[in-house]
Amino acid sequence: MYIVLGRFQPFHKGHEHLINHALDLGPTVIAIGSSEAEMSMDNPWNAVEREAMIRGWLADRQAKVVKIPDINDPPNWVEHAKKFHGKGTLVTSDVSTKQLYEKSDFDVHWVELENRESYEGWRVRVTLKMLSTVFELDAQKEVMKASIPESVVDWLVDNDALYRLYSMSQGTEHAG
């Protein structure tokens, strides 16, 4: 079993790259971390919504999707997470996650990620927050497609997920 762990806030092309790699290796578990996180600018979508993004992207491909609540205890994280994603090989491009799992004698398959800076979740969220003030739908979609798979772009639009970022940012200082 190959395991890809992420928060998927939102599901972006870096996640797509990792999961495609894992699917090519064999049966895959996609583990949604911080499944219980309260809504915030760092966590704008709940675990059910993140799973919907992933399942929409998967289309007819098969993968098990599990949700893992955070315990905010890195030394015990792997043992906790294993109860949800099971045993197998972690597929990752994140150095700290790699080290954490290796320290727990977990098999790790390293994947180099090109354009990592472009596919960092915080950067994608900031871009989406800025796009939430743009009212031209085609322009929004075109910008989102640079870092987010088209099926997830469609999910974000169809579920009015950008407006949420706009409303969450009300009362915060804006640049400009």
Continuous H helices in the chain: 13-25, 47-58, 74-85, 95-103, 121-131, 137-144, 150-158, 161-168
pLDDT tens for each residue of 145-170: 888 999 999 998 888 887 777 777 66
| 66 DSSP assignment | E
Answer with the residue of higher pLDDT: 40 or 29: 29
pLDDT of residue 162: 77
Pairing state between β 28-32 and 2-6: parallel
Q: What is the mean pLDDT of the chain?
A: 88
Per domain, the residue ranges of the chain are 2-110, 116-168
Pairing state between β 89-92 and 64-67: unpaired
> How many CB atoms within 10 Å of residue 88?
18
Cβ contacts of 127 within 8 Å, gap of 6 or more: 143, 144, 147
Question: Please, are residues 127 and 169 in contact by the beta-carbon 8 Å criterion?
Answer: no
- At 166, list the tokens: 């706009």
Task: Check whether 175 has a pLDDT greater than 60.
Answer: no
For the whole prediction, is pTM greater than 0.75?
yes
pLDDT tens for each residue of 97-151: 999 999 999 999 999 876 666 677 777 888 888 777 777 888 888 888 888 999 9
Task: Check whether 51 has a pLDDT greater than 90.
Answer: yes
Query: Is the peptide bond between 75 and the residue preceding it cis, with omega within 30 degrees of 0?
Result: no
- At 140, list the tokens: 């929004």
Q: Which CATH class is domain 2-110?
A: alpha beta
